[in-house]
Amino acid sequence: MLSLLSRLPALVLSLLAVTANAQTAPVQVDGAWARASVPGQKSSGAFMRLTAREPLSLVGVQSPVAGVAEVHEMRLDGDVMRMRPLPSLPLPAGRIVELKPGGLHLMLMDLKEPLRAGTRVPVTLLVRDAQGVERRVELELPVATRAPGPAAGERHPAPHGEAGHGHRH
């Protein structure tokens, strides 16, 4: 009991530091993941929901697993799906910006090795505030073959008002 009491101040300080970091992070990140790849595949995507505490712009992304990492937009142009890099992505304060397959996402290109399901990859988001100050958001993304399901207690809304249509988005 005495050894636990002697360690209590360090444990409290450690807990306070973690709480302070979570409260001062410029962006809340939820549901983050990277898509697994197969040998020979040179690119993959990463996805997440971002909520900025203040107006920010996502101006870059880096990862040691990729030679090139970019913020991308995928959209339908007539009947052709087109993808293009974005120089920056606005993150309005308090609004969720979703990076998902088939829309806005992060592209990890020139992969140095396949992204294996069940592993984690480091990704750094570069965000800039209205004064031009850049900050880094360090992440460790789980690698999976599909998006993780909703957290316990969370409902997964059916897209377009369709209930139980039998496949995941």
Q: Which CATH number do you get for residue 66?
A: 2.60.40.1890
Residue 9, H or E segment: helix 2-24
Going by C-beta distance under 8 Å and a sequence separation of 6 or more, which residues neighbour residue 136? 124, 125, 126, 127
- Expressed as residue numbers, the domain containing 133 is 26-147
Within a domain: 169 = no
Residue 28, H or E segment: strand 27-35
Within a domain: 83 = yes
**pLDDT of amino acid 81:** 86
165: tokens are: 């249509």
Within a domain: 89 = yes
Q: Nearest Cα to 21, choosing from 136, 143, 112?
A: 136
pLDDT in tens, the chain (169 residues): 444 444 444 433 333 333 334 457 899 999 999 999 999 999 999 999 999 999 999 999 999 999 999 999 998 888 898 999 999 999 999 999 999 999 999 999 999 999 999 999 999 999 999 999 999 999 999 999 999 876 544 444 433 333 333 333 3
Number of domains in the chain: 1
Q: Looking at the DSSP assignment, which residues form a beta bridge with residue 46?
A: 34, 106
What's the predicted TM-score (pTM) here? 0.74
**pLDDT of amino acid 17:** 34
Within a domain: 50 = yes
**pLDDT of amino acid 25:** 83
111-138 as b/e: b if 16+ CB within 10 A: beebbeeeeebebebbbbeeeeeeeebe
Within a domain: 74 = yes
**pLDDT of amino acid 164:** 36
**pLDDT of amino acid 150:** 64
Say how far residue 140 (Cα) sits from the centre of its chain: 9
Within a domain: 166 = no
Residue found under tokens 């992070």: 25
Within a domain: 165 = no
Cβ–Cβ under 8 Å, residues 144 and 117: yes
Within a domain: 7 = no
| Pairing status of strand 96-99 against strand 56-62 | unpaired
